[in-house]
Amino acid sequence: MRPLAPVTPPAKRTTRLALAVLAAFSVLTACGGGSPAADAAVGEGEGSGGKGAKGTITIRIPDPGNAGVLARGKKDGSLDKALAAVGAKVAWTGSAGPFAPAAQAMNADQLDIATGSITSGITSLSQSPGFAFFTATAPDPVGEGILVRPDSDIDSVEDLVGRKVAVNKGGTGEYLLLKALAKAGVPADKVERVYLRPDQTAAVFNAGQVDAWAVWSTYAVAEIGADKARFVADGTAIGSDNYSLNAVRSGFAKEHPEVVKALYAYLHENSAKEKKDPAAYLNVFTDAGPTAVNGKGGTVDPIRPEDIKRFETVARFYADQKVTPNKVDIAAHLIDIEKLS
């Protein structure tokens, strides 16, 4: 803690207050890199993403942590009630984290649901996917962007030339950096990308081993709130279309569409409540310590035709930037939740 901190000017207080209400469902939003989640601790007689001895369908979802719709639903029992209506129950697996390992877990039939950004989703779809996306949540452009330290001489995207920028490979960080450079007309090879897991980057960034960090609100809010960083460009300035999506294991969606629809209905209804009263969905289990967070959620909605056009644009950008070997056919891996049966 910093003793005798100077009085914060009004403009800075306004900025910090705005940042304090970010971090959408982003405790769940997972964006590339990391290691697979732990296997579910399912009860006796329960199958893997199937029916248990008493006919109950088990749906395996990463533990939601301390914030968001699923965290509150876990604590107050409302999610159990919603799923019980369709003969299902949750088995919480490990903890929410980057989407890439979650995608691998779904492909290996070790997980049924995961949340990630469209950027990390596209990267994972380029590798023989066993999952599809069934919801979309609008981007949080004010909470994501490229961070630099407060005393950095980097004041524009152009100033990143010849510098090292930490990004998570194939995920939100790499997308934000490449998108910013393209908009500024800076060749991507003029900036060194340092691939790091986001949960391991703060120490490297704060030690000065990289010059900047392209990252989303889950990590950006903590750094800016502690006066350790500032945005040189946020998602709005970059022109980010970094949607958050929920994915379901393809086999589970085919076998239990009624459960997927019930989960969607729960997420949609309660994310609308979260948007109106974000404080009720923060620090659900504890309001102190390393898991305490600030933020607000976005509404979990069906994937609409206009969303698909945005996703296709991101997929084309990733192919053009050589992040994926070819343009991923994102439309082939989307579910119309309102028509699922």
Please give the share of the chain, as a percent, with pLDDT higher than 90. 66
CA distance 183 to 21: 28
Q: How many helices (H) and strands (E) does the chain have?
A: 12, 10
CA 187 to chain centroid: 27
Which helix (H) or strand (E) element contains residue 307? helix 305-320
Nearest C-alpha neighbor of 318 from the set 188, 201, 142, 190: 188
Q: Give the pLDDT score at 3.
A: 41
CA angle 28, 49, 138 (to 5 degrees): 30
Q: Give the pLDDT score at 52.
A: 54
And the tokens for 131? 């999952």
- The 10s digit of each residue's pLDDT in 171-200 is 999 999 999 999 999 999 999 999 999 889
Q: Give the pLDDT score at 296.
A: 52
- The 10s digit of each residue's pLDDT in 147-179 is 999 999 999 999 999 999 999 999 999 999 999
- The 10s digit of each residue's pLDDT in 60-81 is 999 988 888 999 999 999 999 9
List CB contacts of 123: < 8 A, sequence separation 6 or more: 32, 100, 170, 171, 318, 323, 324
Classify burial at 279, counting beta carbons within 10 Å of its beta carbon; exposed 0-12, middle 13-18, buried 19 or more. Answer: exposed
Q: Give the pLDDT score at 27.
A: 38
Q: Give the pLDDT score at 278.
A: 86
Over its length of 341 residues, how does the chain's per-residue pLDDT go in tens digits? Answer: 334 334 344 444 444 434 443 443 343 344 444 433 433 333 333 445 666 546 899 999 999 888 889 999 999 999 999 999 999 999 999 777 778 889 999 999 999 999 999 999 999 999 879 999 999 999 888 889 999 999 999 999 999 999 999 999 999 999 999 999 999 999 999 999 999 998 899 999 999 999 999 999 888 888 998 899 999 999 999 999 999 999 999 999 999 999 999 999 999 999 999 989 988 888 888 875 444 444 455 899 999 999 999 999 999 999 999 999 999 999 999 999 999 98
CA distance 153 to 144: 20
Q: Give the pLDDT score at 298.
A: 81
142 near 234, Cβ under 8 Å?
yes
pTM: 0.79
| DSSP one-letter string for 210-262 | SSEEEE-HHHHHHHHHTTS-EEEEEHHHHT----EEEEEEHHHHHH-HHHHHH
Q: Give the pLDDT score at 51.
A: 62
Q: Give the pLDDT score at 65.
A: 86
